[in-house]
A = this chain, B = another copy of it.
Amino acid sequence: MSRIDDVYAKLQIKTGAKLVLVVLDGLGDVAMREQGWMTPLEAATTPNLDGLVSQGCAQGRMIPVVPGITPGSGPGHLALFGYDPIEFEVGRGVIEALGLGIELTSGDVAARANFCTLNDQGVVTDRRAGRIATEVCERLCGILSAKIKKIGTTAVQIVPGKEHRFVVVFRGTGLEGPLSDTDPNREGFPIAVAKPVDPKNEGQKKMAKLIADFYKVALPLLKAEKTANGFLMRGVAHQPEIPTFEQRYGLKAAALAVYPMYKGLSQLVGMVKIEGPSTIREQFERYAKEYSNYDYFFIHFKYTDKAGEDGNFEAKKKAIEEFDAALPILLARKPDVLAITGDHSTPCSLKGHSWHPQPVLLHSAASGSDKLCRFTETGANHGSLGIFEAKYLIRLMQAHGKMFDKFGA
């Protein structure tokens, strides 16, 4: 824990204020000439957001990690939850495993995997095996699970995900990540060898050997398959030690997320996963019902990011409008502190995550007004929050919830 975290911890008090974080995944964007120099957020019709802004909001932009660095969903969300993403590195395998409901214990190593197609020479010809159906994935994971319970003394757990995706968890002693991926990242290359990121790390060396052994027993089991006759592994990492939300902030937190990765991220910091809702409207309705049961709500909306990844300006605009239409359900419950933002930008023009600071809006009785009419990237540039590192967002939310004593006399 840093010196500054220590100051925050010492000043922390309980006030019973309710904090709500709505993450429109990949919300931030970059104005496009073809769209009259607009961003999807600027082009969207958002009467309810506009109304919220007129009630008094503070706006700004957040640097997801450090300037110029594009985060994955993991670091993006850890920062929003107040965990320095450079201090707390979490492998994707761990996050995926958590998202599938696998209970990891400290020291477990998890890897994301996906079925792929190999030709006779062992060259990857389709990195996603034609996106096989989830049922096929389940059948193949069943075959692997039935035959591979252990490698040496290390227990192996194989859990199917959606379509071509699955997760492999290794539980033994002295295992450590991270390793390099076996995914060559392009078709036309063979499966790569997983190597220790730190060549001197004994745990990583042991783990690299295990992955190689796993391939040796697993690949022959898939030989009969036509498309999904191989698999690639990524984000091989061990479960790090992370203080929970309750330990760190004294807040009882709940997560309303639909996608496994975000459920996993919330579980990693000890949030309670509220299952059931599948649309943003249902998520807000459920939040309203659970309002009195938690101090902090994390509500995750995926479709802004999806549209950005597809480079689909119109779809991203529509996703924002879908969120806006549901917003009154959230606002009716009048949370004490509401933050609406993204975990990063996913500009349509880049068709992927980016480093551009995402816009953030903060609404509370203490937020005042930045005298802006709407919530947009350009407007946020003029806001009272300025541009700050995303890891401070929760500190501002706590401050707006009056959750800090005065520092010094």
Contact = CB atoms under 8 A, between A and B. Distances in A.
A409 B73 contact: yes
Interface in A361-378: 365-371, 377-378
A247 B303 CA distance: 41
Interface string A332-370: 000000000000000101101111110000000111111
Interface stretch (A166-174, A305-313, A323-331, A379-387): A379-387
A262 B304 CA distance: 46
A289 interface: no
A67 B353 CA distance: 26
Contacts of A384: 61, 356-357, 377-378, 381
Contacts of A8: 66, 68-69
A368 B408 contact: no
B387 A388 contact: yes
B68 A404 contact: yes
Q: Which of A68, A353, A355, A392 counts the most chain B CB atoms within 10 A? A: A68
Nearest to A394: B68
A406 interface: yes
A349 B369 CA distance: 13
A385 to B, nearest CB: 8
A230 interface: no
Interface in A50-104: 56, 61, 65-75, 85-86, 89-92, 95
Nearest 7 Cβ contacts at the A-B interface = A92-B409, A386-B387, A30-B368, A68-B399, A68-B395, A72-B408, A75-B408
